[in-house]
Amino acid sequence: MIDFEIPEEDRALLDAIDRMMAREFPPEAYRQADLAHQTPWHLLPRMGELGLLALPFPEAVGGLGKDWRSAALVNERLAYHAGIAATLFGTTVSFGGMSLLNYGSGEQKRTLLPRLMEGRARFALALTESAAGTDAGAITTHARRTESGWRIQGRKTWISNADAADYLVVACRTEAGSQGSKGVTMLLVPRGTPGITMTGLDKVGHHCMPSYDIGFDEVEVGDDAVMGEVGQGFRHAMSTLHYSRAGQAANAVGQAQRAVDLAVAHAKERRQFGQAISSFQAVQHKLADMQVRVNQARLALYHLAWLIATGRPCRLEAAQAKLVATEAFQFVTRSGMQVMASAGYAMESDMQRMWRDAGLYTFGEGSSELQRNLIAREMGL
């Protein structure tokens, strides 16, 4: 039976997050950053000082040795305050840290994990291409051997936070004629390597998390850039997907709870026909449905975190948590906009920002349709 009691140590950590976010990135700062399309990178070192980025890593590599249940709670609480804060935490820990821990070389671990846990190393996963999104095995970016390493040629697109990343984790086809998941290698490429060009992409939401189209024109890296085994990159990447899906689910749950709380507060304050609109059954039912969806998603998230923490298989549950949480996030922000009406539609409203941002979650890092396919496969269908 899963114990849902939050340990005192974790409660203290969540309280510390509340204080840090109130001080370093209060709601008004988030609104301004969204309007200015600015990423609050200053939060990463603050997370490092609190020990947040070291949470799930073993003590042997300088981590705190906590399990993924603590990481999920931290991610959710950061998201409640600011989705971008949870995104920075999640991508740093999963795309960067867990990739290094699970299939990085000894030297990569020694060099980069300490910097990452201090909030001084930034990573971006360069996987998606124009014809390789949900079908990640369709990548065409390739790397061919040289006398000293590898030469990369190709394009990646919709790569988040690539401009400020210290390293790009790049999926390349390294075996001529290979198809699908075979013959793919993960390369750790310093962002400033000659031959890399980036073009910013405009989008509806997530203005604090810029996305880029990236060109690799004869980009040369050494053999020390290889992460894991040559030709096994797809398997390596899939081995860490449950971490990123848990992160996405936690991020969605935290923001969704914030949206519910904003809608409830507005409904209690807004008066029509001589009474607060929270007294109308139609509004009460909408708010109740919103909270139910968030609670369902939170249970799926905590179940997944428990499975990861206890080393159990979780392919189905990772897809399930990502699916339920991201669709709940869309549902509650859409419903919240209806409850708040013009007050939610105003640009100074946090609800409209979450509503815009929620659109990404049901297709980013694996669409809802793909999650349903994975769940059906695990059911033997």
- List active site positions: 365
Spatial contact of 103 and 63, defined as CB atoms under 8 Å apart: no
- Report helix, strand or coil for 310: coil
Cα within 13 Å of Cα(52), Cβ side: 33
H runs (alpha helix) in the chain: 8-24, 27-36, 43-50, 68-81, 83-91, 99-103, 106-117, 233-239, 241-269, 281-309, 315-340, 342-345, 350-361, 368-378
Spatial contact of 58 and 67, defined as CB atoms under 8 Å apart: no
Q: What is the rounded CA–CA span in Å between residue 155 and residue 151?
A: 13
- Report helix, strand or coil for 277: helix
Q: What is the rounded CA–CA span in Å between residue 61 and residue 102?
A: 12
DSSP 129: B
User: H or E segment at 312?
Assistant: none
**CB neighbourhood size of 218 (10 A):** 10
Give the closest residue to 44 by CA, choosing from 101, 13, 85, 98: 85
Spatial contact of 336 and 290, defined as CB atoms under 8 Å apart: yes
**CB neighbourhood size of 10 (10 A):** 17
